[in-house]
Structure 1
Amino acid sequence: MKNFERRNDALRINGNTVNGITADIAITPRGSDFYFAICAAMAVAAFTFVGLALQKHRRDRIFHYITAGVVFVAAISYFSMGSNLGFTPIVVENQRSDPKVHGVFREIFYVRYIDWFITTPLLLMDLLLTAGMPWPTILWVILVDEIMIVCGLVGALVRSTYKWGYFAFGCLALCYIIYQLAWEARLHTNPLGKDVTRVFFLCGSLTCILWVLYPIAWGVCEGGNVIAPDSEAVFYGVLDFLAKPVFGALLLWGHRSIDPARLGLQIRDYEDDPAVTPVAHAGEKSRTRNGATAGNGDGVANDMPQDNAATV
């Protein structure tokens, strides 16, 4: 029997040259292998979250779908980086004597920022919807997040010291997001119950801690050319693994007994009676589990007419 040798030919097939420019500071097969490993973890998480969603009623799948979308997009991004695609060579601002980062053109993966442009708003939606935040605030925080990601991308592609100006704008946007998660959103969870407060505190704290580390990674990778692209793969890969699959698992575990209607997410399914709101459905299910019938405390159904019903 012939010996079987596992080979990752992505670097040989796709190369390090884009538009005639070769990135001489680029990942090695070890970095490519690590990207593919994170890709596999993201894909497994995506199918797991979708499988968990199918065990829920369609009205109760919003957090499962959002979180599955996050890791599915991340899986595509990490497949691209493992394949040594989705990058452009950029002249480094600071050329180093360390042989691991010695060179002129560094490999900058713009596909990573495409990933973040899609997934970080979804992660914020997971948290802010859990906190019951109003939609105008959610949209505003997402806009600030998009500004942060775009500033990071533009800064990574700039060849001069002006890249640090974009870095500063991105950090300012991050500070505002952290404020919203650590203060405003946390206060919104207080009236929603201890279970909601607990899951938001756990997932929100994890997000705040991890997101603060991303500017450090940017500073030593795309910004300062301090660590090698293989180390960059590990730095960002570990952060993304904790910020997406681990975050998603904790969030969905915390939501296992939380009705979305409690959070203001009154979602109607096509099987529902149009005359009955999702809140009423949730109340009926809750009372059924407690062995009581829908109605008042005497067991008599409440069928009072709506005072504010429109008349023609």
Structure 2
Amino acid sequence: MSSPIEQPLVKAGNQAVHINRPHGLDFHITKRGSDWLWTVTAIFGLLAVVYVLLFFVTQVRNGSGLSRYSLAAPFLIAFFEFFAYFTYASNLGWTGTNAEFHHISVSKPVTGESPGIRQVFYCKYIAWFLSWPIVLFLQDLAALSTIKRDALGSASVLDLIHSLLVQIFGHYFWVIALLVGALIPSTYRWGYWTIGAFTMLVTEGLVLQRQVQALRTRGIYLILLMFMCLIVWCYFIAWAVSEGGNKIQPDSEAVFYGILDLVVFAIYPSILVWIITVRGEWPEFSLRGGTSGAYAGDAPLPLGGKGAAARSDSAVHNPEITTHRASTSDELHYEKTDGPNSIRDSGETQVPRNSIAARTEPETEDESA
């Protein structure tokens, strides 16, 4: 029998699954699963506080604007995940769906359904929907800020927007596909899993193509990027053995997803922020990108390419030379203009002695002398 002093301590523990009881479910999280989820919640909450403090410290020390921008991104990620895992650990933000396979069982079924009603937490999908775009932005910022300027030149704003939109909507699609598949009670859920997996494969191919070819990513950062691409596929494995295949209990599912989210949304953003802060510099942007120069980036090239551009520049600096374009060709022709001081206009055929060409020729003695 517990003493009156011990009773308040017992009530002060994790009472989430007792206060927010799962009803109408056969497979649901227990106190052990909720305890783990509260641990993940505390980690994300601590990270959010740390990023806020680092932001203000950087602000007081007049740190670079790049550092402040990079610290805002992981703070938002940690805050979104903290919000989701607070809901997850509180045994809220869920719905029930009929499982497909009899891989697991419970001692006391509640619904009498076969194989049973499984608890599906949609709150984690909402957190992924909010967090993935920020991770992708931070990933591109790390690559753009650490690349050699002479290798890339100015970064293209249009290319950056296009690439981020493709990556973001690709991740949105597979997150929604897994959510819809988890809510479908029949075997058709695997069709959504397949569609999401195919979308993820194409999206990761585009990400690697941009990082390797366009941004010239090399070394440790490339290895880290490829490792993260493999980690993303673990989400599909976790879904297949939990909401999809009903192979593991919801407590084990919570541990699986919690570890993945800590790697992707806690450790990985911290590494990216460290890379940007230590090695990053403000990237140079232009509308279309390219190397610096009079006819690079946004400046249009004249007909004939850069060679024609160089010739036209020399023509501009010499007022006595004008350009003429043939009606049937794009080739540029240069002719001497007729001006008041030109030799052609004066009618003379001999180069005067005071001209530059005459001064450069050696004088010869008269034969009669």
Q: TM-score, normalised by structure 1?
A: 0.76
1:103-160 residue CA offsets vs partner (Å, 9 max, x unmatched): 5110000111101111112111111233346211111111111111111110010011
1:46-104 residue CA offsets vs partner (Å, 9 max, x unmatched): 22222223313445322211111111100110110100000001111223354389751
Tell me whether 139-148 or 90-99 shows the greater mean CA deviation: 90-99
1:203-232 residue CA offsets vs partner (Å, 9 max, x unmatched): 423321210111000000110000000000
Structure 1 residues 101 and 189, CA, compared in 2 at 3 Å: closer, same or farther? farther
Q: Is the counterpart of residue 67 in structure 1 residue 79 in structure 2?
A: no
Distance 1:76 1:100 in 2: 33
Q: Which amino acid aligns with 2:189?
A: K
The percentage of counterpart residues that share the same residue type is: 29
**1:252 positional shift:** 1.2
Structure 1 residues 158 and 178, CA, compared in 2 at 3 Å: closer, same or farther? same
- Residue in structure 2 matched with residue 95 of structure 1 by the alignment: 102
- Residue in structure 2 matched with residue 274 of structure 1 by the alignment: none
- Residue in structure 2 matched with residue 121 of structure 1 by the alignment: 133
Is the 1:35–1:78 contact (alpha carbons within 8 Å) kept by the matching residues of 2? yes
Is the 1:181–1:208 contact (alpha carbons within 8 Å) kept by the matching residues of 2? no
Aligned equivalent of 2:183, options 143, 157, 164: 157
Q: Is the counterpart of residue 48 in structure 1 residue 50 in structure 2?
A: yes
Distance 2:108 2:196 in 1: 25
Unpaired segments of 5 or more residues in structure 2? 110-114, 145-158, 288-369
Structure 1 residues 100 and 140, CA, compared in 2 at 3 Å: closer, same or farther? farther
- Residue in structure 2 matched with residue 136 of structure 1 by the alignment: 162
Structure 1 residues 97 and 127, CA, compared in 2 at 3 Å: closer, same or farther? closer
Q: How many residues align?
A: 257
1:165-222 residue CA offsets vs partner (Å, 9 max, x unmatched): 11011101111222123332233332xxxxx745642542332121011100000011
Is the 1:49–1:64 contact (alpha carbons within 8 Å) kept by the matching residues of 2? yes
Q: Cα RMSD between the aligned structures?
A: 2.4
Structure 1 residues 164 and 101, CA, compared in 2 at 3 Å: closer, same or farther? farther
**Bigger Cα Rg:** 2
Is the 1:63–1:126 contact (alpha carbons within 8 Å) kept by the matching residues of 2? yes
Distance 1:161 1:146 in 2: 23
Aligned equivalent of 1:2, options 2, 5, 21: 5
Aligned equivalent of 1:220, options 234, 241, 251: 241
Is the 2:66–2:282 contact (alpha carbons within 8 Å) kept by the matching residues of 1? no
- Residue in structure 2 matched with residue 288 of structure 1 by the alignment: none
Q: TM-score, normalised by structure 2?
A: 0.65
Distance 1:177 1:263 in 2: 26
- Residue in structure 2 matched with residue 77 of structure 1 by the alignment: 84
Structure 1 residues 72 and 101, CA, compared in 2 at 3 Å: closer, same or farther? farther
Tell me whether 74-83 or 89-98 shows the greater mean CA deviation: 89-98
Give the ranges of 4+ consecutive aligned residues of structure 1 lying more than 6 Å apart after TM superposition. none
- Residue in structure 1 matched with residue 278 of structure 2 by the alignment: 257
- Residue in structure 1 matched with residue 93 of structure 2 by the alignment: 86
Distance 2:286 2:95 in 1: 42
Classify the secondary structure of the residue corresponding to 2:118: strand
Distance 1:227 1:66 in 2: 34
Tell me whether 115-124 or 102-111 shows the greater mean CA deviation: 102-111
Listed as ranges, the matches of 1:1-312 within 5 Å are 2-3=5-6, 4-5=9-10, 6-17=12-23, 22-54=24-56, 55=58, 56-99=63-106, 104-132=116-144, 134-190=160-216, 197-198=218-219, 200-262=221-283, 264=285
Unpaired segments of 5 or more residues in structure 1? 191-195, 267-312
